[in-house]
Amino acid sequence: MIARVIVDLKHHQVNRLFDYFIPAEMESFLQRGMRVIVPFNEMKRLGFVVEIVEESNQASKEIEDVLDVEPIIDDELFEHIDLLMKTSNITLSHAFETVLPSEIFIQYEKQVICLDESRIDQSLKSKFNKNGVWVLKKSDIQYQYQIKKLKEAKIVETRTALKTKAKAKVIKTYHFNVNHRYHKINNNLELISFFNNHDEVNKADLNAYGFSDAQIKTLIKHEVLQVIEKEVIRNPYSHIIENKKDIKLTDEQNKVLNQILSKQDQYLLKGVTGSGKTEIYIKLIESYVMKGAKVLLLVPEITLILQMLKRVSPYVEKIAIYHSGLSHGERYDQYERIRNQNVHLIIGTRSAIFSPIQNLGLIIVDECHDQAYIQEDSTYYDAITHAIKKASYHQATLLLGSATPSVEHMFYALNKQFRLVELKSRPLNLPMPKIEYVDMKQELTKGNTSIFSEVLMQKIESRLKNKEQVLLLFNRKGYAPYIMCRQCGHVPTCPTCQIALTYFKSDGLLKCSYCHYKEAKQLSCQSCQSTAIKEVGVGIEYVEEVLKKTFSNAKIARMDKQTIKTKNGHETLIKDFDEQAYDILLGTQMIAKGLDFKNVTLSAIIMADLSLNIPSYTASEQAYILFAQMTGRSGRFYPGEALVQAYHLDHFAIKSLSKNYDAFYKEAIHIRKLANYAPFKQMAKITFEGEQYLKTYQEAFKIKKYLESQDHEVLGPYEQTLNRKVDIYKFEMVVKYIKLDKSELFIKITELMQKKWFVRFFPMSREI
Q: Which residues bind DNA (CB under 7 A)?
A: 9-11, 13-14, 17-20, 38-43, 56, 58-61, 108, 110, 141-142, 144-146, 149, 158, 160
Q: Smaller CB distance to DNA: residue 143 or 706?
A: 143
Q: How far is the CB of 691 from DNA (least distance, A)?
A: 11
Contact 312, 285 (CB under 8 A): yes
- E-state strands within 272-344: 294-298, 319-322
3-state secondary structure string across 735-767: EEECCCCHHHHHHHHHHHHHCCCEEEEEECCCC
Q: Smaller CB distance to DNA: residue 56 or 513?
A: 56
The C-alpha atoms of residue 193 and residue 215 are separated, in whole angstroms, by 15
Q: Smaller CB distance to DNA: residue 43 or 671?
A: 43
Q: Smaller CB distance to DNA: residue 59 or 472?
A: 59
Contact 504, 516 (CB under 8 A): no
- 181 alpha carbon, distance to own chain's centre: 58
Q: Smaller CB distance to DNA: residue 42 or 54?
A: 42
Q: How far is the CB of 213 from DNA (least distance, A)?
A: 42
Q: Smaller CB distance to DNA: residue 18 or 174?
A: 18
Q: How far is the CB of 22 from DNA (least distance, A)?
A: 11
β-bridge pairing 518-520 and 584-587: unpaired
Q: How far is the CB of 698 from DNA (least distance, A)?
A: 20
Q: Smaller CB distance to DNA: residue 160 or 226?
A: 160
β-bridge mates for residue 472, sequence order: 586, 604
- List the strands of the sheet with 156-164, edge to edge: 133-135, 106-114, 156-164
Contact 622, 371 (CB under 8 A): yes
- Which strand (E) or helix (H) includes residue 519? strand 518-520
Name, in order, each residue with C-beta under 8 angstroms of 43's C-beta and a sequence gap of 6 or more: 108, 160
For 705, list phi and psi in degrees, rounded to 5: -60, -40
The C-alpha atoms of residue 521 and residue 504 are separated, in whole angstroms, by 9
Q: How far is the CB of 151 from DNA (least distance, A)?
A: 8
Q: Smaller CB distance to DNA: residue 45 or 394?
A: 45
CA distances, 435 to each of 104, 521, 654, 655 (Å):
51, 41, 10, 10
Q: Smaller CB distance to DNA: residue 126 or 449?
A: 126
3-state SS, residue 251:
helix
Q: Smaller CB distance to DNA: residue 142 or 243?
A: 142
Q: Is 112 exposed, middle or buried (0-12, 13-18, 19+ CB in 10 A)?
A: buried
Q: How far is the CB of 107 from DNA (least distance, A)?
A: 10
- List the strands of the sheet with 225-232, edge to edge: 200-202, 169-176, 225-232
Q: Is 395 exposed, middle or buried (0-12, 13-18, 19+ CB in 10 A)?
A: exposed
CA distances, 621 to each of 369, 542, 591, 616 (Å):
10, 27, 18, 10
Q: How far is the CB of 764 from DNA (least distance, A)?
A: 25
Contact 534, 484 (CB under 8 A): yes
Q: Smaller CB distance to DNA: residue 112 or 471?
A: 112
Q: How far is the CB of 646 from DNA (least distance, A)?
A: 46
For 596, list phi and psi in degrees, rounded to 5: -130, 85
The H helix count followed by the E strand count for the chain is 23, 35
The C-alpha atoms of residue 201 and residue 48 are separated, in whole angstroms, by 42
Q: How far is the CB of 40 from DNA (least distance, A)?
A: 4
CA-only gyration radius of the chain, Å? 31
Q: Is 197 exposed, middle or buried (0-12, 13-18, 19+ CB in 10 A)?
A: exposed
Check residue 169 and give left, alpha or beta (phi > 0: left; psi -120 to 50: alpha). beta
Q: How far is the CB of 19 from DNA (least distance, A)?
A: 4
CA dihedral 614, 618, 624, 626 (to 10 degrees): -70
Q: How far is the CB of 30 from DNA (least distance, A)?
A: 15
Q: Smaller CB distance to DNA: residue 42 or 711?
A: 42
Q: Smaller CB distance to DNA: residue 20 or 729?
A: 20
Q: How far is the CB of 68 from DNA (least distance, A)?
A: 20
β-bridge pairing 65-66 and 35-40: antiparallel
Q: How far is the CB of 752 from DNA (least distance, A)?
A: 15
Contact 444, 575 (CB under 8 A): no
Q: Is 249 exposed, middle or buried (0-12, 13-18, 19+ CB in 10 A)?
A: middle
The C-alpha atoms of residue 588 and residue 543 are separated, in whole angstroms, by 11
Q: Smaller CB distance to DNA: residue 137 or 172?
A: 137
Contact 267, 444 (CB under 8 A): no
Q: How far is the CB of 120 from DNA (least distance, A)?
A: 14
Q: Smaller CB distance to DNA: residue 91 or 603?
A: 91
Q: How far is the CB of 90 from DNA (least distance, A)?
A: 12
Q: Smaller CB distance to DNA: residue 691 or 741?
A: 691
Q: Smaller CB distance to DNA: residue 11 or 702?
A: 11
Q: How far is the CB of 753 from DNA (least distance, A)?
A: 10
Q: How far is the CB of 495 from DNA (least distance, A)?
A: 22
Q: Smaller CB distance to DNA: residue 164 or 526?
A: 164
The C-alpha atoms of residue 248 and residue 455 are separated, in whole angstroms, by 38
Q: How far is the CB of 95 from DNA (least distance, A)?
A: 14
Number of Cβ atoms within 10 Å of the Cβ of 743: 9
